Amino acid sequence: MIDGRFASNLPAELLIDRASIARRIDELGAELAGLFADEEPPVLVGVLKGSAMFLADLIRAMDIDVAVDFMSISSYSQSGVVRIVKDLDEDVRGRDVVVVEDIVDTGLTLNYLRKTLSQREPDSLRAVTLLDKTARRIIPVPLEFSAFEIPDVFVVGYGLDFQGLYRNVADILAVRDLARLANDPRLMVAQLFGLKSG
Ligand code: PRP
Protein backbone atom coordinates (compact mmCIF):
# COMPACT_ATOMS: atom_id res chain seq x y z
CA MET A 1 0.00 0.00 0.00
CA ILE A 2 1.21 3.45 -0.83
CA ASP A 3 0.44 4.83 2.63
CA GLY A 4 2.99 2.46 4.11
CA ARG A 5 5.74 4.06 2.09
CA PHE A 6 4.87 7.46 3.48
CA ALA A 7 4.76 6.29 7.06
CA SER A 8 8.53 6.03 7.03
CA ASN A 9 10.99 8.76 7.76
CA LEU A 10 10.62 10.70 4.51
CA PRO A 11 10.93 14.48 4.28
CA ALA A 12 7.67 14.46 2.28
CA GLU A 13 4.10 13.29 2.73
CA LEU A 14 1.26 12.36 0.44
CA LEU A 15 -0.73 15.42 -0.68
CA ILE A 16 -2.87 14.13 -3.57
CA ASP A 17 -3.04 10.43 -4.40
CA ARG A 18 -3.10 9.04 -7.94
CA ALA A 19 -6.77 7.99 -7.78
CA SER A 20 -7.86 11.52 -6.86
CA ILE A 21 -5.72 12.93 -9.67
CA ALA A 22 -7.29 10.53 -12.17
CA ARG A 23 -10.84 11.32 -11.02
CA ARG A 24 -10.32 15.07 -11.24
CA ILE A 25 -8.69 14.85 -14.66
CA ASP A 26 -11.63 12.82 -15.95
CA GLU A 27 -13.94 15.64 -14.80
CA LEU A 28 -11.79 18.34 -16.38
CA GLY A 29 -11.41 16.38 -19.60
CA ALA A 30 -15.17 16.01 -19.91
CA GLU A 31 -15.65 19.71 -19.20
CA LEU A 32 -13.12 20.74 -21.84
CA ALA A 33 -14.46 18.26 -24.38
CA GLY A 34 -17.95 19.68 -23.90
CA LEU A 35 -16.66 23.19 -24.48
CA PHE A 36 -15.18 22.34 -27.87
CA ALA A 37 -17.57 19.58 -28.96
CA ASP A 38 -18.99 21.47 -31.93
CA GLU A 39 -15.81 23.40 -32.76
CA GLU A 40 -12.63 22.79 -34.71
CA PRO A 41 -10.13 20.77 -32.66
CA PRO A 42 -8.54 22.98 -29.98
CA VAL A 43 -4.76 23.22 -29.64
CA LEU A 44 -3.58 22.09 -26.23
CA VAL A 45 -0.23 23.69 -25.47
CA GLY A 46 1.88 21.78 -22.97
CA VAL A 47 4.44 23.88 -21.12
CA LEU A 48 7.54 21.73 -20.76
CA LYS A 49 8.57 19.87 -18.84
CA GLY A 50 6.28 19.59 -15.84
CA SER A 51 2.95 19.45 -17.68
CA ALA A 52 3.82 16.40 -19.80
CA MET A 53 2.04 13.87 -17.60
CA PHE A 54 -0.98 16.06 -16.97
CA LEU A 55 -1.33 16.81 -20.68
CA ALA A 56 -1.06 13.12 -21.59
CA ASP A 57 -3.81 12.15 -19.17
CA LEU A 58 -5.99 15.19 -19.86
CA ILE A 59 -6.20 14.66 -23.62
CA ARG A 60 -7.06 11.00 -23.11
CA ALA A 61 -9.93 12.13 -20.89
CA MET A 62 -11.28 14.28 -23.77
CA ASP A 63 -13.44 12.36 -26.21
CA ILE A 64 -12.99 14.88 -29.03
CA ASP A 65 -10.25 15.45 -31.56
CA VAL A 66 -7.48 17.73 -30.26
CA ALA A 67 -4.18 19.07 -31.53
CA VAL A 68 -1.13 19.10 -29.25
CA ASP A 69 1.84 21.43 -29.29
CA PHE A 70 4.57 22.31 -26.79
CA MET A 71 6.44 25.36 -25.52
CA SER A 72 9.42 25.55 -23.27
CA ILE A 73 9.97 28.64 -21.18
CA SER A 74 13.01 29.72 -19.25
CA SER A 75 12.07 31.88 -16.31
CA TYR A 76 14.19 34.08 -14.13
CA SER A 77 12.21 34.23 -10.94
CA GLN A 78 14.28 37.07 -9.46
CA SER A 79 13.74 39.52 -12.30
CA GLY A 80 10.46 38.18 -13.62
CA VAL A 81 11.97 38.04 -17.10
CA VAL A 82 10.80 35.08 -19.14
CA ARG A 83 12.01 33.88 -22.53
CA ILE A 84 10.95 31.20 -25.00
CA VAL A 85 13.37 28.27 -25.28
CA LYS A 86 11.15 26.22 -27.60
CA ASP A 87 8.27 27.82 -29.47
CA LEU A 88 5.13 26.23 -30.90
CA ASP A 89 5.50 24.32 -34.14
CA GLU A 90 2.12 25.48 -35.45
CA ASP A 91 0.48 28.84 -36.07
CA VAL A 92 -2.41 29.27 -33.62
CA ARG A 93 -4.09 32.19 -35.40
CA GLY A 94 -7.84 31.57 -35.44
CA ARG A 95 -7.56 28.45 -33.28
CA ASP A 96 -8.96 27.69 -29.82
CA VAL A 97 -5.89 27.48 -27.59
CA VAL A 98 -5.66 25.93 -24.14
CA VAL A 99 -2.40 26.39 -22.22
CA VAL A 100 -1.74 23.33 -20.06
CA GLU A 101 0.36 23.90 -16.93
CA ASP A 102 1.35 21.63 -14.10
CA ILE A 103 1.42 24.47 -11.58
CA VAL A 104 0.66 28.18 -11.43
CA ASP A 105 2.71 29.73 -8.67
CA THR A 106 3.65 33.43 -8.95
CA GLY A 107 1.70 33.59 -12.21
CA LEU A 108 4.65 35.14 -14.07
CA THR A 109 5.00 32.27 -16.53
CA LEU A 110 1.31 32.04 -17.36
CA ASN A 111 1.03 35.80 -17.61
CA TYR A 112 3.88 35.85 -20.12
CA LEU A 113 2.43 32.94 -22.09
CA ARG A 114 -1.01 34.53 -22.28
CA LYS A 115 0.43 37.82 -23.50
CA THR A 116 2.65 36.14 -26.08
CA LEU A 117 -0.03 33.79 -27.39
CA SER A 118 -2.78 36.41 -27.50
CA GLN A 119 -0.58 38.48 -29.83
CA ARG A 120 -0.86 35.60 -32.31
CA GLU A 121 -4.60 36.20 -32.54
CA PRO A 122 -6.09 32.86 -31.53
CA ASP A 123 -9.86 32.58 -31.67
CA SER A 124 -9.87 31.92 -27.93
CA LEU A 125 -7.25 31.49 -25.24
CA ARG A 126 -7.73 29.61 -21.99
CA ALA A 127 -5.50 28.04 -19.37
CA VAL A 128 -5.80 24.87 -17.35
CA THR A 129 -3.51 23.90 -14.51
CA LEU A 130 -3.18 20.79 -12.43
CA LEU A 131 -2.16 22.74 -9.33
CA ASP A 132 -2.98 26.30 -8.36
CA LYS A 133 -0.86 27.75 -5.58
CA THR A 134 -2.88 30.93 -5.13
CA ALA A 135 -1.07 32.04 -1.96
CA ARG A 136 2.10 32.65 -4.00
CA ARG A 137 0.55 34.74 -6.77
CA ILE A 138 2.40 37.94 -7.70
CA ILE A 139 0.45 38.73 -10.85
CA PRO A 140 -3.32 38.16 -10.98
CA VAL A 141 -3.65 36.12 -14.16
CA PRO A 142 -6.80 34.58 -15.64
CA LEU A 143 -6.97 30.84 -15.04
CA GLU A 144 -10.08 29.21 -16.46
CA PHE A 145 -9.57 25.65 -15.17
CA SER A 146 -7.75 24.25 -12.19
CA ALA A 147 -7.72 20.68 -10.92
CA PHE A 148 -6.56 21.37 -7.36
CA GLU A 149 -5.82 24.46 -5.28
CA ILE A 150 -2.92 23.71 -2.95
CA PRO A 151 -1.33 25.51 0.00
CA ASP A 152 2.12 27.10 -0.17
CA VAL A 153 4.11 23.88 0.07
CA PHE A 154 6.83 22.55 -2.22
CA VAL A 155 5.41 19.69 -4.28
CA VAL A 156 6.92 16.87 -6.31
CA GLY A 157 5.49 14.05 -8.37
CA TYR A 158 3.14 13.72 -11.33
CA GLY A 159 5.42 15.89 -13.47
CA LEU A 160 6.78 18.16 -10.77
CA ASP A 161 10.44 17.80 -9.90
CA PHE A 162 13.08 18.56 -7.35
CA GLN A 163 16.41 19.03 -9.13
CA GLY A 164 15.15 16.93 -12.03
CA LEU A 165 14.05 14.03 -9.83
CA TYR A 166 10.64 12.64 -8.85
CA ARG A 167 8.67 13.71 -11.95
CA ASN A 168 7.56 10.11 -12.47
CA VAL A 169 6.16 9.58 -8.98
CA ALA A 170 2.50 8.80 -9.65
CA ASP A 171 1.17 10.74 -6.63
CA ILE A 172 1.77 14.35 -5.59
CA LEU A 173 3.89 14.74 -2.46
CA ALA A 174 4.35 17.78 -0.23
CA VAL A 175 7.97 18.23 0.82
CA ARG A 176 7.92 19.17 4.48
CA ASP A 177 11.68 19.32 5.00
CA LEU A 178 13.14 20.95 1.91
CA ALA A 179 16.50 21.60 3.58
CA ARG A 180 16.91 17.90 4.28
CA LEU A 181 16.03 17.00 0.71
CA ALA A 182 18.32 19.70 -0.67
CA ASN A 183 21.14 18.20 1.34
CA ASP A 184 20.51 14.81 -0.29
CA PRO A 185 18.27 15.19 -3.38
CA ARG A 186 18.05 11.42 -3.98
CA LEU A 187 16.94 10.81 -0.40
CA MET A 188 13.45 9.58 -1.33
CA VAL A 189 14.35 7.61 -4.45
CA ALA A 190 14.89 4.23 -2.82
CA GLN A 191 11.69 4.28 -0.78
CA LEU A 192 9.47 5.73 -3.49
CA PHE A 193 10.63 3.36 -6.18
CA GLY A 194 11.52 0.36 -4.04
CA LEU A 195 15.12 0.49 -5.20
CA LYS A 196 18.24 -0.27 -3.26
CA SER A 197 19.65 2.93 -1.80
CA GLY A 198 23.10 4.13 -2.65
C1 PRP B 1 7.04 25.56 -13.35
C2 PRP B 1 5.67 25.31 -13.95
C3 PRP B 1 5.30 26.62 -14.53
C4 PRP B 1 6.03 27.61 -13.67
C5 PRP B 1 5.05 28.24 -12.73
O6 PRP B 1 8.00 25.35 -14.33
O7 PRP B 1 5.70 24.29 -14.92
O8 PRP B 1 5.68 26.73 -15.89
O9 PRP B 1 7.03 26.90 -12.93
O10 PRP B 1 5.69 29.16 -11.88
P11 PRP B 1 5.27 30.69 -11.85
O12 PRP B 1 3.78 30.76 -11.74
O13 PRP B 1 5.95 31.17 -10.58
O14 PRP B 1 5.79 31.38 -13.07
P15 PRP B 1 9.54 25.11 -14.00
O16 PRP B 1 10.28 26.41 -14.21
O17 PRP B 1 9.69 24.46 -12.66
O18 PRP B 1 10.00 24.13 -15.17
P19 PRP B 1 9.67 22.59 -15.43
O20 PRP B 1 8.20 22.50 -15.75
O21 PRP B 1 10.52 22.24 -16.61
O22 PRP B 1 10.03 21.83 -14.18
Is 99 within 8 Å of 73 (Cβ atoms)?
A: no
Separation CA 187–CA 150 (nearest Å): 24
Separation CA 174–CA 29 (nearest Å): 25
Distance 151 CA to ligand 1 centre (A): 16
Is 91 within 8 Å of 64 (Cβ atoms)?
A: no
Which atom belonging to ligand 1 lies closest to the Cα atom of 161?
A: 22
Query: Which fold does the domain 2-192 belong to in CATH?
Result: Rossmann fold (3.40.50)
Is residue 87 flagged as an active site residue? no
- Residue with CA nearest ligand 1 atom 8: 109
> pLDDT 10s digit of each residue in the chain, 198 long?
355 566 568 899 999 999 999 999 999 999 999 999 988 999 999 999 999 999 999 999 999 999 999 999 987 665 667 889 999 999 999 999 999 999 999 999 999 999 999 999 999 999 999 999 999 999 999 999 999 999 999 999 999 999 999 999 999 999 999 999 999 999 999 888 875 544
Q: What is the pLDDT of residue 6?
A: 64
- Residue with CA nearest ligand 1 atom 16: 75
Task: Strand 154-156: give its sheet, edge to edge.
Answer: 12-16, 172-175, 154-156
Q: Which of 57, 102, 105, 171 is catalytic?
A: 105
Q: What is the pLDDT of residue 193?
A: 87
Separation CA 71–CA 90 (nearest Å): 11
Which atom belonging to ligand 1 lies closest to the Cα atom of 74?
A: 16
